[in-house]
């Protein structure tokens, strides 16, 4: 049915249709229509209402901050991290202080609106070998903090115009973590993981051979770190001129970046030992312990210039004043990671088997063997779970066949693959206790 006019179903006025915008909502089947002017009025009503709520939420936000400050003092945050992360004491301290100071800055800003004094942000850069707890530490921190926190993989970012995600994605992730609340987003924390992957491949030594993709990403990130208004579209929408955009000011967002920076110890070593050729391994082949010890000593001495040599542009390094280093985990540390954290792999398997009425027992030597194998795999604590998973597969397949209470004993030979874990009747526990 063609119309040249209709009655607005809201205001009742007769609307003459001269062009498409005269009939923004018009159902040709029923004649139901809403005119442009009514839609505008509804829109303004919604805008005003939401503005009112935003004002209210700002007040609530300030009140909530006071509570958060009182609740999340650095020693409390660290204690929480201690439940999950073994060693890395200094890193846990640095992050606890960084998070607490972030709350304090927000509170200061809100209490001194219009004031010209500001407390500077202390963005953090975390360095440490693979599998030593960088991502794990940040993900636990995010669970504790009541401020929005989003992790973005920097290696997935590309310069605008290239295939991949623009740097704005980091802010967009935070916006969703903040429940699409712009005010909260603007005070959140962004963790850029795998940050070393966007280093200029050539490093600072060789800036003539440009690496445009990565350098472009760094330039984009620099703008965010400096504080700028980032504009992005809702998830899934392509950027085109008419797509509605969300604007977020990054001035007060705390940035934490982290990466393994593989090989940076060589750059540090070169600097530290300049002109001192007597120090070093000489012709001997260094043992694994020596290498780790040396790595740990070197990594703690990292300086901004080493990061520059690695290929991070100086302007970015200047915006990351806090350098936090994590160490390589040795066999004893891995052994503790197997059993001590709240979510330790051994505890997880014990819980899983307990659900089938089975008591799981790892012999001390078995756990040490797991740690040894993990060291050989050179992926830090990351491979621990996989090694146990391999050994436990058959047991986890067999156990549920019966409901009987039993126990499973894992020995060193099981870990080495020489024998399967033993499934024994539960009574034997008592028997062996009596005979002991």
- Applying CB under 6 A, the span of 169-177, 268-276, 309-317, 378-386 interacting with ligand ATP comes to 378-386
358-362 and 189-193 strand pairing: unpaired
Contact between 373 and ligand ATP (CB under 6 A)? no
Using CB under 6 A as the binding rule, the residues of this chain from 66 to 85 that contact ligand ATP are 85
Q: Which SS3 state, helix, strand or coil, does residue 147 take?
A: coil
197 binds ligand ATP (CB under 6 A): no
Torsion of Cα atoms, 152 then 153 then 154 then 155, to 10°: -160
Q: How far is the CB of 175 from ligand ATP (least distance, A)?
A: 24
* Lookup: tokens for 156: 């997935």
Distances, alpha carbon 305 to alpha carbons 125, 205, 271, in Å = 14, 11, 9
Among 23, 86, 302, 346, binds ligand ATP (CB under 6 A): 86
Which one of the spans 94-102, 127-135, 184-192, 214-222 is the region binding Mg ion (CB under 5 A)? 127-135
**Segment interacting with Mg ion, rule: CB under 5 A, options 67-75, 132-140, 165-173, 178-186:** 132-140
Size of the site for Mg ion (CB under 5 A): 2
CA angle (264 as vertex; 262, 269 as ends), nearest 5: 140
The yes or no reply on residue 347 touching ligand ATP (CB under 6 A) is no
Can residue 39 be called a binding residue for ligand ATP (CB under 6 A)? no
Q: Is 245 in the site for Mg ion (CB under 5 A)?
A: no
What is the β-pairing status of strands 245-249 and 229-233? Answer: antiparallel
34 DSSP β-pair partners:
25
Give the span between the Cα atoms of 99 and 400, in whole angstroms. Answer: 45
Residue closer to ligand ATP by CB (options 87, 246) is 87
Map residue 401 onto helix, strand or coil: helix
| Token pair recorded at residue 179 | 């429940």
Is the CB of 126 or the CB of 353 nearer to ligand ATP? 126
Out of Mg ion, ligand ATP, none, what residue 133 binds, judged by CB under 5 to 8 A for its kind, is ligand ATP
- Minimum distance of ligand ATP from residue 337's CB (angstroms): 4
User: Which of ligand ATP, Mg ion, none does residue 98 bind (CB under 5 to 8 Å by kind)?
Assistant: none
Q: Which residue in the block uniquely carries the two structure tokens 């126990």?
A: 407
The reply on whether position 135 binds Mg ion by CB under 5 A is yes
Which pairing describes strands 229-233 and 149-153: parallel, antiparallel, or unpaired? unpaired
Residue 139 touching Mg ion (CB under 5 A): no
Tokens of 424: 């024994």
- Chain centroid to Cα 326, Å, comes to 16
Residue 260 interface partner, choices Mg ion, ligand ATP, none, CB cut-off 5-8 Å depending on type: ligand ATP
CA-based nearest residue to 272, from 293, 295, 302: 302
Closer to Mg ion by Cβ: residue 35 or 192: 192
Question: Between β-strands 33-34 and 25-26, what pairing exists: parallel, antiparallel or unpaired?
Answer: antiparallel
For position 371 contacting ligand ATP by CB under 6 A, the verdict is: no
Count of residues in contact with ligand ATP, rule CB under 6 A: 18
Identity of the residue, 134 or 407, whose beta carbon is nearer to ligand ATP in the bound complex: 134
**Nearest 10 degrees: CA dihedral of 82, 84, 90, 96?**
-70
Q: What sign does the CA torsion over 41, 47, 49, 51 have?
A: negative
Q: Which is nearer to ligand ATP, 133 or 188 (CB)?
A: 133
Task: From 144, 126, 146, select the one nearest 135 (Cα to Cα).
Answer: 126
Q: Does 260 bind ligand ATP (CB under 6 A)?
A: yes
Give the single-character DSSP code of 300: T
Rounded to a whole number of angstroms, the minimum distance from the CB of residue 196 to Mg ion is 10
Per CB under 5 A, which region of 80-88, 128-136, 154-162, 200-208 contacts Mg ion? 128-136
Can you tell me which residue has the tokens 């442009």?
36
Question: Among residue numbers 388 through 417, which ones bind ligand ATP (CB under 6 A)?
Answer: none
CB of 264 to ligand ATP, least distance (A): 12
CA distances from 430 to 208, 406, 407, 433, 435 (A): 73, 12, 12, 5, 9
CA 369 from chain centre, in angstroms, equals 31
Report the residue number, 320 or 395, with the smaller CB distance to Mg ion.
320
Question: Which span sits near Mg ion by CB under 5 A: 87-95, 130-138, 213-221, 345-353?
Answer: 130-138
Q: Say whether residue 95 binds ligand ATP (CB under 6 A).
A: no
Helix (H) or strand (E) holding 33: strand 33-34
Look up residue 208 and give its two tokens.
């003539």
421 touching ligand ATP, by CB under 6 A: no
Which residue's CB comes closest to ligand ATP? 133
108-137: contacts with ligand ATP (CB under 6 A): 128, 130-136
Q: What residues make contact with ligand ATP under the rule CB under 6 A?
A: 85-88, 128, 130-136, 260, 337, 341, 380-382
Q: What residues make contact with Mg ion under the rule CB under 5 A?
A: 134-135
């Amino acid at each position: 049915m063609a119309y040249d006019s209709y009655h607005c179903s809201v205001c009742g006025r007769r609307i003459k249709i001269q062009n498409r915008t005269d009939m923004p909502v018009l159902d040709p089947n029923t004649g139901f229509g809403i005119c442009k002017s009514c839609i505008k009025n509804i829109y303004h009503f919604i805008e005003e209402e939401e503005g009112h709520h935003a004002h209210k939420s700002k007040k609530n936000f300030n009140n909530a901050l006071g509570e958060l400050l009182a609740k999340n003092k650095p020693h409390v945050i660290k204690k929480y991290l201690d439940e999950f992360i073994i060693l890395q004491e200094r890193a846990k301290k640095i992050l606890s202080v960084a998070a607490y100071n972030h709350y304090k800055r927000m509170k200061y800003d809100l209490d001194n609106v219009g004031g010209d004094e500001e407390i500077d942000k202390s963005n953090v850069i975390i360095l440490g070998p693979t599998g030593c707890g960088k991502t794990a530490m940040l993900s636990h921190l995010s669970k504790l903090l009541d401020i929005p926190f989003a992790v973005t993989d920097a290696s997935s970012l590309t310069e605008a115009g290239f295939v991949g995600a623009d740097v704005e994605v980091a802010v967009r992730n935070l916006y969703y973590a903040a429940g699409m609340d712009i005010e909260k987003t603007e005070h959140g924390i962004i963790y850029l993981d795998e940050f070393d992957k966007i280093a200029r491949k050539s490093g600072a030594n060789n800036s003539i051979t440009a690496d445009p993709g990565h350098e472009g990403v760094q330039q984009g990130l620099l703008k965010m770190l400096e504080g700028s208004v980032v504009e992005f579209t809702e998830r899934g929408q392509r950027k085109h001129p008419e797509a509605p955009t969300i604007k977020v000011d990054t001035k007060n967002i705390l940035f934490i970046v982290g990466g393994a920076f593989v090989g940076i110890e060589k750059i540090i070593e070169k600097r530290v030992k300049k002109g001192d050729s007597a120090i070093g391994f000489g012709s001997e082949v260094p043992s694994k312990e020596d290498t780790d010890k040396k790595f740990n000593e070197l990594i703690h001495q990292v300086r901004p210039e080493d990061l520059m040599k690695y290929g991070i542009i100086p302007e970015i390094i200047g915006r990351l004043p806090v350098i936090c280093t994590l160490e390589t985990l040795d066999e004893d540390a891995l052994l503790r990671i197997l059993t001590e954290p709240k979510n330790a792999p051994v505890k997880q398997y014990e819980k899983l088997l307990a659900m089938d009425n089975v008591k799981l027992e790892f012999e001390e030597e078995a756990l040490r063997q797991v740690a040894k194998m993990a060291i050989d795999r050179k992926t830090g604590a990351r491979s621990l779970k996989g090694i146990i998973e391999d050994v436990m597969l058959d047991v986890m397949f067999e156990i549920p066949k019966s409901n009987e209470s039993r126990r499973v004993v894992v020995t060193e030979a099981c870990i080495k693959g020489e024998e399967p874990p033993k499934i024994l009747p539960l009574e034997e526990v008592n028997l062996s206790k009596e005979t002991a």
